[in-house]
Structure 1
Amino acid sequence: MKNQYTPIAVTRREFLRGSMGGLGLVAFSGFAPSFLTSTARADVARPETGRQILVMIQLAGGNDGLNTCIPFQDDMYYNLRPDLGIKEGYRPISDFLALHPNCAGMERLYKDGNLSIIQNVGYPNPNRSHFRSTEIWETATDSDIIGRDGWLGRYFDNACDGDGHTSSDPMALHISDDTPGHFMSEKPHSIFGMPARGRIRKKNEDELALLEKLTQAPSASDTGSYLQHMMMDAIVTEKRVQNIVDRYKPQAKYQGNLGQSLQKVAAMIAAGLETRVYFVAQGGYDTHANQANGHSQRLGELSNALHAFQQDLIKHKLDDQVLTVVFSEFGRRPQQNGSQGTDHGAAAPLFVMGRNLQTPLLGEVPDLQNLQNNDLRHEYDFRQVYASVIQDWFKADPSLVLDGQFDTLPII
């Protein structure tokens, strides 16, 4: 779900997605500023320090699963990909499956029991549109239904009442240009956004001083007062978050843009923010042409970032509080195209990272002899992963969040 920010939102959903003048925003999924929503939660006990945190990483563009988790024993893989098929340097993790040569960090995570691979994840009647398939993953709906709210937004709405989120810390935080549709909700929840690169505020301090003056000016209406409170919340949270990021001393070496984003997440987790969910994205996976080098670079950045993030959490003794899920809106087609790339496909592997995961590898090697509309068949519905996260990680009831019954998986 992509959007263009507007100065003042006119609906609940537009407001959640909006920002004001590029301000590192605290947005709310209902028209109620944080000083009101905090008051409403004032009687709830403060949370335990060991709250469960979820980090979502989207590989935007449609990651090629077959060249990420390589079926190196299958001749059909090389027949379908005479040029793109990876013949050497791959990293075996079973008798039939190997990780891409550039995934040394992920290989270490896997062998240390900190990475689970779920093969052939998708959904019935797959859609090959980036926008629509992303929307399906965000809302956790069937492919023929237009969802209204995100699955995490519904989790916040229906399973977080009384969870002890009493501070001014945002319930969710994204490091991306757009507020993820995963966070769309009916009830008010604070959502903070910050850029993937650089500091939150790139403009001069005079602008910030002017914004602070505006928040203190007399208001002639309830709407103006509300906007002043919203702006002040954003400024206060922005300053706090930037200070946390600036002062953080990582215990691992982060590389690349994704690594820098995950370092920011690690900083905020280490600072003890009560934020429940973090979202970051890595682009560049829409590999229609000349795939080999670009895909290799993206996977190398992903692998290094995941390994650094987990090691950083371990060094700070926080790895038992954080679960990371890595997904893409769809995979690529098994057969290479005429431009040395691959086109939009369906099922693909999904990765879960954390401490003491239950099953390192779930699912069969992709069946290249039994395709469906020239695509890989899905073995697991992505909503089974969501149900597992809700039930086994957040200790909540998936039926409060997901429409339908989905068997959980032995991951956590």
Structure 2
Amino acid sequence: MQHFNIITRRGFLDRSFKVGLGVALSTLVDIPLVVKRALAEGTIGLNGKKLLFIFLRGANDSLNSVIPIQDSAYATSRPTLKIPADSLTDYSAIGSCDLPISAAPTDPTFGYANAIRLGNGFAALHPSLKFLAPVYNAGDLALVHRVGYPKQSRSHFDSQNYWETGNPNNNLVKDGILYRAMVESGLANTNPLTGVSFQSSLPLILRGSAAAMTNLSDPNRYNLLGIPNTTVGNTKADNAVTNANGFPFPDKKNRELLNLQYKNLSDTLSIFASLNFTESGNTFRDDPGTDNDTTWANAATGGYYLFPTTNDKNGGWRRVTGGATDAQKYVVDTGAYSFFNSLKAAALILNKTNAIVAGTEMGGFDTHVAQGTLAGSHPNLQRRIAWAMYALRKYFLNYADKATWNNLAIITLSEFGRTTVENSDRGTDHAEAGVMFVAGGAVKGYNKGGSSTGVFGCHPSNSVPWITGQTGSMFGASSRYLKRVHDYRSVLGKLIRDHLGATQNQLNRIIPGYAVTGEHLQTGGTSAVDNTPIIGEPDIIV
């Protein structure tokens, strides 16, 4: 026993070392973000890799997106909502995805009325998703089916929170997955822009207390200080920030950090002022002859506009400048223009700045009533998804600046899937597993990197097989819902580590479930949370 009033030289040195070490370690617990880059692991934000997210709010009906056309229970469960198979198509054939191009320039854009063969021998696309086919056949699209999480909530509010925080069934966590990824980069408070969203308010996926991400509801109308985005307004804003930062203040803790925040704000204002978000700046076009519409291409000297934000820029609606129109030649519904304005802004931010993550949202997927089969609310929403993926690929291939298609990944999120059996209102209700769309030049899709398919989780030969019939996978959860085999965190985790450049230790902090052995998020296994066999990370990155 060592008496407190007697201390030897060895004891003194031992205690001094331990105290010093404790102080040193305690300072690392609360490292200011201004110096975290020097200590950061990984290459997030340093390797040129970027991510664009789209949240499909309301819960997408995945069974009418990536259709298990070879499962007989699909057609019998949806007497009015089912998409019919084409009697002349062999859906068991292996190969590329079919692309129903319009035979003549005047044919309707969406004239094909059957399920589009995906080429994996089992699944098909809804015909409203036809513009996914070129992305898929280039090997740049992964369709990850049967995605969910343990003990699935069927509350929109709760489930969206879980998807965005990466902590299923935990309502205490209030910071988002991509926010944590930006903090782990060490750049969150030293770069003017790291994570940016374009929607009504900053989404939870980018929200947190240690660093400020950026959200703009309308980049055309106001800048970040609420001042009109004009030369006079921007000068006034810049002067206000500069003058405020010049006042003398006593030296206090975090004063340097506050000064840096002022500088970042000023730099952010300058960046946004330099970008052209206006309608007149929306000049981005497809290659000539989109969807075989040579008449439009000849009249307009090019392909369709990539970001349809007006009728005249929506597919081949305007047949000749100042002349006739044809509503059958739209590529998206006319209610989609606000979404494509936001999508264009997200693309510009990633392409013209050093931002690492950008995204937006699309609502309307809560299709309880009259969701539509070939036309209607759900097919319209899916046309937006498909054209968004098609357009982003062409934009980053043809107009690349600070972001190339090979360095970009695009991902969709949606809080849950919808019921296998349609309801009496010709709609679908809240259910369990769904589909994630993942696109990009580095995506390991069809015929790329040794992969024979871009469809994951939708085939009887999967390691956790798709079981057909009335007691199969589509009824595997509570005897009425599609059962998960992929955890959404495994898909996001794969992208954050193998695309954005996080280390495994960083990923364990960004998505805490990775550090829990029983979750099996990386390699697959039987989830200790609910005893469900899961596949683990899909092999979707080259």
TM-score, normalization: structure 1? 0.79
2:500 and 2:248 map into 1 onto residues whose CA distance is 44
Q: Could you tell me whether the CA contact under 8 Å between 2:165 and 2:174 is conserved in 1?
A: yes
Question: Residues 222-241 of structure 1: matches in 2 within 5 Å?
Answer: 234=265, 237-241=268-272
User: In the alignment, which residue of structure 2 is the partner of 1:3?
Assistant: none
User: In the alignment, which residue of structure 1 is the partner of 2:284?
Assistant: 250
Q: CA RMSD in A?
A: 3.4
Question: Residues 37-186 of structure 1: matches in 2 within 5 Å?
Answer: 50-87=47-84, 88-94=113-119, 95-144=121-170, 146-158=172-184, 160-161=185-186, 168-186=191-209
What stretches of structure 2 of length at least 5 have no aligned partner?
1-31, 85-112, 287-305, 309-336, 446-453, 460-465, 515-520, 523-536
1:50 and 1:208 map into 2 onto residues whose CA distance is 32
Is 1:377 the equivalent of 2:460? Answer: no
Name the CA shift for 1:141/1:220 in 2 (closer, same or farther; >3 Å).
Answer: same
1:62 and 1:324 map into 2 onto residues whose CA distance is 18
User: In the alignment, which residue of structure 1 is the partner of 2:407?
Assistant: 321
2:45 and 2:416 map into 1 onto residues whose CA distance is 37
1:205-259 Cα deviation digits (max 9, x unpaired): 6877776676446979899x99999688546524522431345753442123333
Is 1:285 the equivalent of 2:365? Answer: yes
Q: Could you tell me whether the CA contact under 8 Å between 2:145 and 2:436 is conserved in 1?
A: yes
- Shift of residue 148 of structure 1? 3.3
- Shift of residue 389 of structure 1? 1.1
Question: Residues 21-32 of structure 1: matches in 2 within 5 Å?
Answer: none
2:127 and 2:219 map into 1 onto residues whose CA distance is 27
Moved more, 202-211 or 231-240: 202-211
1:378 and 1:347 map into 2 onto residues whose CA distance is 5
1:66 and 1:258 map into 2 onto residues whose CA distance is 24
Moved more, 315-324 or 48-57: 48-57
Name the CA shift for 1:291/1:150 in 2 (closer, same or farther; >3 Å).
Answer: same
Q: From 433, 455, 466, give the equivalent of 1:361.
A: 455
Name the CA shift for 1:228/1:393 in 2 (closer, same or farther; >3 Å).
Answer: closer
Please give the secondary structure, in 2, of the residue aligned with 1:291. Answer: coil
User: In the alignment, which residue of structure 2 is the partner of 1:276?
Assistant: 356
Please give the secondary structure, in 1, of the residue aligned with 2:513. Answer: coil
Please give the secondary structure, in 1, of the residue aligned with 2:213. Answer: strand
Question: Residues 341-356 of structure 1: matches in 2 within 5 Å?
Answer: 341-356=427-442
Name the CA shift for 1:228/1:55 in 2 (closer, same or farther; >3 Å).
Answer: same
Name the CA shift for 1:357/1:296 in 2 (closer, same or farther; >3 Å).
Answer: same
2:35 and 2:124 map into 1 onto residues whose CA distance is 52
1:210 and 1:244 map into 2 onto residues whose CA distance is 18
User: In the alignment, which residue of structure 2 is the partner of 1:403?
Assistant: 512
2:170 and 2:259 map into 1 onto residues whose CA distance is 41
1:169 and 1:248 map into 2 onto residues whose CA distance is 25
- Shift of residue 49 of structure 1? 7.5
Please give the secondary structure, in 2, of the residue aligned with 1:333. Answer: coil
Name the CA shift for 1:71/1:135 in 2 (closer, same or farther; >3 Å).
Answer: same
Q: Could you tell me whether the CA contact under 8 Å between 1:115 and 1:357 is conserved in 2?
A: yes
- Shift of residue 344 of structure 1? 1.0
Q: From 184, 191, 198, give the equivalent of 2:213.
A: 191
1:111 and 1:134 map into 2 onto residues whose CA distance is 31
Moved more, 375-384 or 207-216: 207-216
Q: Could you tell me whether the CA contact under 8 Å between 2:409 and 2:442 is conserved in 1?
A: no
Moved more, 204-213 or 85-94: 204-213
1:207 and 1:48 map into 2 onto residues whose CA distance is 31
Is 1:307 the equivalent of 2:332? Answer: no
- Shift of residue 361 of structure 1? 1.3
Q: Report the count of equivalent residues.
A: 371
2:364 and 2:236 map into 1 onto residues whose CA distance is 38
- Shift of residue 179 of structure 1? 1.1
Amino acid at match of 1:341: G
Q: Which has the higher contact order (CA 8 A, sep 6+)?
A: 1
1:43 and 1:213 map into 2 onto residues whose CA distance is 34
Question: Residues 329-348 of structure 1: matches in 2 within 5 Å?
Answer: 329-348=415-434
1:389 and 1:42 map into 2 onto residues whose CA distance is 23
Name the CA shift for 1:89/1:143 in 2 (closer, same or farther; >3 Å).
Answer: same
Name the CA shift for 1:208/1:324 in 2 (closer, same or farther; >3 Å).
Answer: same
Q: Could you tell me whether the CA contact under 8 Å between 1:122 and 1:380 is conserved in 2?
A: yes
Please give the secondary structure, in 2, of the residue aligned with 1:245. Answer: coil
Is 1:265 the equivalent of 2:346? Answer: yes
2:38 and 2:490 map into 1 onto residues whose CA distance is 35
Amino acid at match of 1:262: L
In terms of Rg, which structure is larger?
2
2:484 and 2:190 map into 1 onto residues whose CA distance is 41
1:286 and 1:239 map into 2 onto residues whose CA distance is 39
Name the CA shift for 1:197/1:96 in 2 (closer, same or farther; >3 Å).
Answer: farther
Q: Could you tell me whether the CA contact under 8 Å between 1:73 and 1:96 is conserved in 2?
A: yes
